[in-house]
Amino acid sequence: MDVRELLSCSQRLLKAVTQTLEESGEHSNVATQPDGCSKPVSPATSSEEQQDTNKSHSSQLGLARLSSISETMGASEPTPDLLPEGSVRRWISELVIAVDSLHFNGIVCGDLTMDNLLLGPEGQLMLTYFHRRGESYFCQTGGAHPAPKQSAIRELYVAPERPLEPKSDFWSIGVIMFEMLTKRKFVSCHPSGVFCYHEVQYPEGVELTGEARDLLEGLLQPDIERRLDFKQIIASAFFRAVDWSEVKRRGVSTNSLSSTGL
């Protein structure tokens, strides 16, 4: 996918800009809670700069709403217009690098959802994750682990294993990728829970490439021992054309304009 096609796709996604900004003030509200702090990762912006960006670039929007992922549509209902696989490939590659950056810093999100994803002014995916100091699913030697959001558990964004660990975030990425590619909620295609199915259930009429299916099935393994790790993900055929050094460079470039000390 060339730059023009990607930007064209992004522009189509951004048609709902005014309505989304008016209806989704929760991002800035959460970012300013006194008992927490925003933890922007590559690529990302600080909460203050997010507010400025929203005023000057009204394209930093929740990707879930703009992707028009159905909350209620069943697996057998008519297929909506799907996002180009090239756009999903770019966004998921950016998300993988952002999550790996968090893991490098000792943080496992555990309950990432589509609500954590924003679309930047250049069509890039931006991950907004709110991390409370002293809380992480990772690198804790005692005490209680923070509980994942109940809404994320209900919608199957949270991996089935406990305690959660770095590979748990790759399950969440798999659910997000599934919803981007199919425009259906993962839970609507797996209403009985992930352990009731022997394989990933795809909506009728949705045709995905073999490379996309292979990656999804590697990410959405209920058995954590069989789930793909970071090195296996970036080596997958779905990302064959991705220049990972360029993805990292874009993230560093974005962060250099918006870095914050937390």
Residue 14 pLDDT: 45
pLDDT top residue among 13 and 177: 177
- Is residue 54 included in any domain, yes or no? no
pLDDT tier at 77 (50, 70, 90 boundaries)?
Answer: low
- Catalytic residues, by residue number, are 111
- Is residue 182 included in any domain, yes or no? yes
| CA–CA distance, 243 with 205 (Å, rounded to integer) | 31
What is this structure's pTM? 0.73
- Is residue 110 included in any domain, yes or no? yes
Residue 255 pLDDT: 58
Token couple for 58 = 């009204």
pLDDT tier at 136 (50, 70, 90 boundaries)?
Answer: low
Amino acid identity, residue 234? I
Number of domains within the chain: 1
Q: What is the CATH number of the domain that holds 203?
A: 1.10.510.10
**Averaged pLDDT for residues 103-114:** 94
Token couple for 224 = 């954590």
Residue 57 pLDDT: 35
Segment 51-61, tens digit of pLDDT: 444 433 333 45
- Is residue 77 included in any domain, yes or no? no
- Is residue 89 included in any domain, yes or no? yes
Of 1-15, 77-91, 110-124, 228-242, which range is least confident? 1-15
- Is residue 101 included in any domain, yes or no? yes
Segment 32-50, tens digit of pLDDT: 223 333 344 444 433 333 4
Percent of the chain with pLDDT over 90: 51
Residue 199 pLDDT: 94
Residue 124 pLDDT: 87
- Is residue 172 included in any domain, yes or no? yes
Provide the domain limits for residue 153: 85-133+149-249
| CA–CA distance, 60 with 8 (Å, rounded to integer) | 16
- Is residue 239 included in any domain, yes or no? yes
Residue 18 pLDDT: 34
Residue 187 pLDDT: 97
